[in-house]
Chains A and B, each alone.
Chain A
Amino acid sequence: MSYTTTAHHDAHEDHPSGIMRWLTTTNHKDIGTMYLIFALIMFMVGGSMIMLVRAELFQPGMQLVQPEFFNQLIGVHALIMIFMALMPAATGFANWMLPLQIGAPDMALPRLNNWGFWLLPPAAILLTLPYILALFGIGDGAIATGWTFYAPLSVQGGIGVDFAIFAVHLLGISSVMGSINVIVTIFNMRAPGMTLMKMPMFAWGWLITAFLLIATIPVLAGAVTMLLTDRHFGTHFFDAAGGGDPIMFQHLFWFFGHPEVYILLLPVWGFMPQILQTFARKPMYGYKVQVYSLWAIGALSVVVWAHHFFTVGMPVPALLYFMYSTMAISIPLAVLFYCWIATIWRGSMSFETPMLFAVGWIILFGIGGLTGLVLADVAADAQYHHTYFVVAHFHYTLFAGGIMGIMAGVYYWLPKMTGHMYNEKLGKLHFWLTAISFNLTFIPQFFLGLAGMPRRIPDYALQFSEFNMISSIAAFVLGAAQLLFVYNIISCARGGKKATDQVWEGAQGLEWTLPSPPPYHSFTEQPVVK
């Protein structure tokens, strides 16, 4: 692909200054920056909560926190990490990079874009407010059901459940607004000559993410609305006495929940091949096949949801169907892995921080996928369901596959966004500390799960002590290592070696044709893609 850039860089920046700039902005770069900063802050908040959990689990017996509070920490940690760290980070990249990558002047619906972001802080307030209210004797703290809101526990739970329901509503509106923006931007704002099959992979990843969000987030909204009316207005959706069924909640929740795990990862699958090709200095392998695989995974992801509750009691044909369909997802996923590896195969690789994260990501996310296959086996899952094995599985997919993928993206694009190089030594140190302590945190949890330790319980039998202690110590290191990440980002934003336009020797794509940092309004004249 080659480009003729006709972008004229007018430097005029017509926006209010100070705080008003951020409250009112309609600029995709400003909004992207806010998303990314919000995600980083919430990542640290959600991380601190789980440090407390790991401290409690350091030894058997009850040490630090009340069991109720322990339950609240676990659920809020997960909700924060999923909805307020990983998803906003991906949306932040979409805002920053999609218009630059497809040669658009901005996102298609800029004011809606601003609203999409500003729904997030109120949601964060709603989710965490019950902790503070409880200090004043109002209510009994935040949601204590885990992130899955299962009825009947959530029907009986305290005021924290109501707050979480409305937090989810605001997050849902935000996601839908963000998705509408992405879809419209991709369909309507591409530079002349950029056909769909010439789009950067990141745009494909996000397009499918946006479709999945539009199809499933409203179902979650419906489910928690039913929960709300069951709690306060006497409906019987999840109550057998009225003809309802608590298991119906699980169906509704996971109809959203399983696609959600792909929503969290598809954006990463989009930009990761771009990072790999950059540092392997070799074109991406199998572009078309990757696009088809992304579509296949997106489509399959909405028909496999019941694998999250095999043990709840289902007819055998249903078990078989959900088992085989789940396993079928691993086929397109394996194709993607093949393409990623083939992209770097015999490339002239160099290992700057983004590449370290990218290669580490392939391996660690691979472990996540393989352990998922184990869980997809109905007979095996009868043993592993609701144990630490599941916890370890989804941290390999979500922390390694999601967060570490996002970290690769941060290091990759930070020089473009700030105009400065980050500290490479510190970045590498961050990678190694993260990768090692991550494995030391979660490998023991596989063994704990195999040995039968249940998840979401603050105390455990003595035989689990050693592994838990190792896991806790490693988790503290993992948490501390993220301070390096924050420090590196802040100092990179403040200054440092000037970044070139190209930044990385092998980087390809429209975003690298612009200066670093790009002007406030880029591509007001669209480039023509040949």
Chain B
Amino acid sequence: MATQSQGHYFVPNPSLYPFILSAGLLVMAAGFIFSVNESVPGHSAGSWMMLGGLGVILAMIFLWLGKVIAESQGGHYKTWEDKSFRWGMMAFIASEVAFFAAFFGALFYMRVISVPELAGFDPEFTPYKDFLGAWPSAGPGGVVLGTEYTTAQFTPMGAWGIPAINTLILLTSGATVTWAHWGLLKNKRSQLVMGLFLTVVLGLMFIALQAYEYHHAYNELGLTLQAGAYGSTFFMLTGFHGFHVTLGTIMLIVILLRSMKGHFSPEHHFGFEGVAWYWHFVDVVWLGLFVFVYWL
């Protein structure tokens, strides 16, 4: 840490965006709740509320980040502010890691503890006599909240088809984004733009393949969100990951457009780096998914 004063820290002007963003979240959450509770009067208005809230949220994110970009271009962010963004982004990514850890935890728990346990009861007393507990599993079946639930018949997703291709795609995209970074550091704009462009294309390919995989799972493998332990963890893990890839791709597109406009310099490009870190994070989570969800 510096031993002399670091000059003036930029404190942004008062802003209404965060407040409106929160209001949008409130409306969206309430709308969602109404829309999923069919017994509730006003249920039909729920989806519209949700869409309205989402619209407000998107508009606010757009305006807020637009303002940040304007401030950055206006030269308000020096090394000191830049450091804050770096620390902040690291802490944010750490919290995302913890979020995924919860779902990985659920996967390991079911696989190692609850599914084998359900198969291991004394046959004299268990209602699950024929249940073997082998993974992948949709559980022993039985009565769920009053409705008869029978174990879903499904084929698990193989690792060496689309998932392996997707692994290659994401690993390559990690390389292209790094190559773009080198371009930026050497002030080679064309390499920067080209690298980002390739990364975006790879991201979009990943999303498209993932969508195809879901289609395949639902229509041909009988593998759905309702398919017990395996279906729940498969779709929640890959779903949240896919959502993060989508976010990351949108961020990359923004950064690509900014690079084409001439934003960023070799010394000053936190926006680029933050997105690149995020992309690497998404990449690492995928490796975990590939190993523990698809492969092993």
Q: Which residues of A contact B (CB under 8 A)?
A: 6, 14-16, 20-21, 23-27, 104-106, 108-112, 114-115, 118-119, 121-122, 125-126, 129, 137-139, 155-156, 159, 162-163, 166, 169-170, 176, 179-181, 183-184, 187-190, 192-193, 195, 210, 214-219, 221-223, 225-226, 229, 232-237, 239-245, 247-248, 251-252, 255, 521, 524-526, 528
A180 touching B92 in the complex, CB below 8 Å, given contacts A138-B42, A155-B145, A188-B84? yes
B16 interface hit (Cβ, 8 Å): yes
State how many angstroms separate the Cβ of B108 from the closest Cβ of chain A.
Answer: 10
Residues A21 and B14 in contact in the complex (CB < 8 Å), given A183-B87, A222-B99, A251-B109: yes
A-chain residues with CB within 8 Å of residue B17 when the two chains form the complex: 111
Q: How far is the CB of A324 from chain B (nearest CB, A)?
A: 21
Q: Is B70 an interface residue (CB 8 A)?
A: no
Contact with A along B17-53 (1 / 0, CB 8 A): 1110111011001101100110011100000000000
Contact A25 B14 (CB under 8 A): yes
9-residue interface stretch from B132-140, B208-216, B245-253, B288-296: B132-140
Point out the residue from B3, B8, B19 that lies within 8 Å of A524, measured CB to CB.
B8
The main secondary structure of chain A at its interface with chain B is: helix
B91 touches A183 (CB 8 A): yes
Question: Which residues in B have their C-beta under 8 angstroms from that of A226?
Answer: 102-103, 106, 232, 236
The answer to whether A236 touches B19 (Cβ under 8 A) is: no
Asked if residues B229 and A192 are in contact (CB atoms below 8 Å), the reply is no
Task: Please give me the 6 A-B residue pairs with the lowest Cβ-Cβ distance, nearest first.
Answer: A222-B102, A243-B139, A243-B229, A115-B18, A242-B228, A24-B14
B276 part of interface (Cβ distance < 8 Å): no
Q: Is the CB of B144 within 8 A of A241?
A: yes
Contact between chains at A248 and B106 (CB < 8 Å): yes
Known: A111-B15, A188-B80, A222-B103. A241 touches B25 (CB 8 A): no
Contact B145 A156 (CB under 8 A): yes
A selection of 6 A-B contacts at a CB cut-off of 8 Å is: A112-B18, A139-B37, A188-B80, A214-B95, A235-B226, A525-B5
Q: How far is the CB of B82 from chain A (nearest CB, A)?
A: 10
From known contacts A159-B40, A179-B91, A252-B102, infer whether A240 and B23 are also in contact, taking CB-CB under 8 Å: no
Knowing A184-B88, A215-B94, A242-B228, the reply to whether A114 touches B138 (Cβ < 8 A) is no
Give complex CA distance A159, B13 in Å. 40
- Contacting residues, chain B, for A247 (C-beta < 8 A): 114
Q: Smallest distance from the beta carbon of B243 to chain A beta carbons, Å?
A: 12
CB atoms of B229 and A242 under 8 A apart: yes
Q: Quick check: A189 and B106 within 8 Å, CB to CB?
A: no
Inter-chain contacts of A187 with B (CB < 8 A): 87
Add 10 more A-B contacts to A180-B92, A217-B98, A243-B139 (CB < 8 A).
A23-B19, A108-B84, A108-B87, A110-B11, A115-B21, A162-B36, A169-B29, A170-B25, A179-B95, A242-B232
Residues of B whose CB lies within 8 Å of any CB of A are: 1-6, 8-9, 11-19, 21-23, 25-26, 29-30, 32-33, 36-37, 40-42, 64, 80, 83-84, 87-88, 91-92, 94-96, 98-103, 105-106, 109-110, 113-115, 117-118, 137-145, 149, 225-232, 235-236
Query: A233-B225, A248-B106 are known contacts. Are A108 and B142 too (CB-CB below 8 A)?
Result: no
Report chain B residues within 8 Å CB of A176. 92, 95
Q: Which of B18, B109, B143 contacts A114 (CB 8 A)?
A: B18
Of the candidates B21, B30, B95, B232, which one forms a contact with A129 in the assembled complex, judged by CB atoms under 8 Å apart? B30
Once the chains bind, are B83 and A235 in contact (CB under 8 Å)? no
Contact of B229 among A24, A215, A218, A236 (CB under 8 A): A236
CB neighbours of A179 from chain B (8 A) = 91, 95
A391 to B96, CA, bound (A): 33
Contact assessment for A248 and B109 in the assembled complex, using a CB-CB cutoff below 8 Å = yes
Q: In whole angstroms, what is the CA distance A245 to B106 when docked?
A: 10
How many angstroms between the C-alpha atoms of A121 and B95 in the bound complex? Answer: 23
**Is B232 a contact of A216 with CB atoms below 8 Å?**
no
Complex Cα gap A245–B112 (Å): 12
Specify which of B8, B143, B228 is in contact with A236 (CB 8 Å cutoff). Answer: B228
Contact in complex: A252, B29 (CB < 8 Å): no
Measured in the bound complex, the distance between the Cα atoms of B103 and A215 in whole Å is 14
Given contacts A118-B18, A139-B37, A222-B102, contact A236 B25 (CB under 8 A): no
Q: Taking each of A108, A193, A236, A247, which has the highest tally of chain B beta carbons within 10 Å of its own beta carbon?
A: A236
Partner of B25, one of A122, A240, A244: A122
Residues of chain A within 8 A of B1, CB atoms compared: 190, 192, 195
Closest chain B residue to A235 by CB distance?
B232
Residue of A whose beta carbon sits closest to that of B32: A166
Among A15, A125, A180, A247, chain B packs the most CB atoms within 10 A around the CB of A180
User: B207 → chain A, closest Cβ, in Å?
Assistant: 21
Q: Which residues of B contact A225 (CB under 8 A)?
A: 236
Distance, CA A239 to CA B36, complexed state (A): 20
Given contacts A139-B37, A184-B87, contact A528 B5 (CB under 8 A): yes
Which A residues are CB-close (under 8 A) to B14?
15-16, 20-21, 24-26
Contact A23 B16 (CB under 8 A): yes
Q: How far does the Cβ of A123 sit from chain B's closest Cβ, in whole Å? A: 8
In the assembled complex, the Cα of A528 lies from the Cα of B6 at a distance in Å of 11
Name the B residues within 8 Å of A210 (CB-CB): 91
Docked pose: A336 CA to B42 CA in angstroms:
54
Q: B97: shortest Cβ distance to chain A, in Å?
A: 8
- The residues of A that contact B41 with a CB separation of less than 8 Å are 137-138
Q: Are A242 and B236 in contact (CB under 8 A)?
A: no
Whether A118 lies near B22 (C-beta < 8 A) is: yes
Tell me which residues across on chain A come within 8 A of B2, comparing CB atoms.
Answer: 192
Whole-angstrom CA separation of A192 from B80 in the bound complex: 13
What residues on A are CB-neighbors of B105 within 8 Å?
219, 251-252, 255
What residue of chain B has the Cβ atom nearest to residue A129's Cβ? B30
> How far is it, in angstroms, between the C-alpha of A39 and the C-alpha of B103 when the chains are bound?
32
Contact B139 A163 (CB under 8 A): no
Chain B residues closer than 8 Å to A216, beta-carbon distance: 98
A192, B5: Cβ atoms closer than 8 Å: yes
- Kindly provide the distance from the CB of A433 to the nearest chain B CB, expressed in whole angstroms: 37
Residue on A nearest B149 in the bound complex, by CB: A241
In this complex, what residue of B is CB-closest to A179? B91
Kindly state the separation between the CA atoms of A418 and B8 in the bound complex, as whole angstroms: 27
Please give, as numbers and ranges, the residues of chain B lying within 8 Å of A163 by CB-CB distance: 30, 33
Determine the residue in chain A with the shortest Cβ distance to B226.
Answer: A234
A232 touches B36 (CB 8 A): yes
Chain A positions within 8 Å of B109 at CB level: 245, 248, 251
Q: Which residues of A contact B118 (CB under 8 A)?
A: 240, 243
Report the minimum CB–CB distance from A204 to chain B (whole Å). Answer: 16
Closest residue of chain B to A6 (Cβ to Cβ) is B5
Q: Are A24 and B114 in contact (CB under 8 A)?
A: no
How far is the CB of B77 from the nearest CB of chain A, in Å? 12
CA distance A53 to B2 in the complex (A): 55
Contact B64 A111 (CB under 8 A): yes
- Pair B145/A24 contact, Cβ less than 8 Å: no
Residues of A within 8 A of B9 (CB): 104-106, 189, 524
Given A119-B25, A190-B1, A236-B229, A218 contacting B12 (CB threshold 8 A): no
In the bound complex, how far is the Cα of B12 from the Cα of A223, in angstroms? 36
Contact check, B87 vs A188: say whether CB atoms are below 8 A apart.
Answer: yes
- CB within 8 Å for A26 and B15 given contacts A105-B9, A108-B84, A252-B106: yes
CB of B87 within 8 A of CB of A243, answer no
Q: Is the CB of B4 within 8 A of A192?
A: yes
Shortest CB distance B34–A (Å): 9
Let me know if A239 and B144 touch, CB within 8 A. Answer: yes
Complex: A232 Cα to B40 Cα, angstroms: 14
- Cβ B22 vs Cβ A218 within 8 A: no
Task: Tell me the smallest distance from the CB of A280 to a CB of chain B, in Å.
Answer: 31
